[in-house]
Amino acid sequence: MEYLALVHFEDGCFVIVFPDCPGCVTQADSEDDIIPMAQDALAGWLESHLKHGEAPPQPSTRIRGKAGWKRHRIPLAFQLSVKLLIRWARQEARLTQADLARKVGVKQPQIAKLERPGVNLSVKTLERVIGALGIRVELGYHREGTHG
């Protein structure tokens, strides 16, 4: 999963803005630091929303650029992506954590943990949650530095 960012050079540094995430802004001193700085800022912003029980906005597939601003795709860590997908799918299904817990056969605090940053979940538990949500998850991969 990735979010789109806009980057602009201003006052001696690169300013990074996420249009889908209001208030998520950071800066980098060099172009080499843009992606790591953006990833840290974005992960912190998204994790803060998850910790407070909120569903952060889903990433847009396109953003309108501003004159002089470059677009960058900022990838998320796999585990954070999974937690976001679970939260969004649960809410789209109009299920509370307690509802989903009943469908999975666990207690509500376990579902809360699955959606919270910093808590590992097993593939087996993930499969049960996906089944209870009635969704299909497709996995794919690409090697760093390649496109396609």
pLDDT of res. 140: 67
Do the domain assignments include residue 7?
yes
Q: Which pLDDT does position 117 carry in this prediction? A: 80
Give 14-31 pLDDT, tens digit per residue: 999 999 999 999 999 998
Total count of domains within the chain: 2
pTM: 0.81
Q: Among 57, 75, 93, give the residue marking a domain's end.
A: 75
Q: In terms of domains, do 129 and 89 share one?
A: yes
Residue 84 within any structural domain of the chain = yes
68 and 95 part of one domain? no
**Residue 139 falls inside a structural domain:** no
pLDDT band at residue 147, thresholds of 50, 70 and 90? low
Q: What average pLDDT score do residues 39-50 get? A: 94
The verdict on residue 148 lying in a domain is no
**Residue 45 lies inside a defined structural domain of this protein:** yes
Please tell me the predicted confidence (pLDDT) of residue 119: 76
Clarify whether residues 85 and 66 are in a common domain.
Answer: no
Domain that holds residue 96: 78-133
User: What's the whole-number mean pLDDT along residues 109-114?
Assistant: 87
55/91 same-domain check: no
DSSP string, 132-146: HHT---------TT-
Written as one string, the DSSP assignment of 45-79 is HHHHHHHTT--PPPPPS-----TTPEEEEEEPPHH
Tens of pLDDT along 80-111? Answer: 998 899 899 999 999 999 999 999 898 998 88
CATH code of the domain containing 42: 3.30.160.250
At residue 14's C-alpha, the angle toward residues 8 and 18, to 5°, is 65
Same domain, 14 and 65: yes
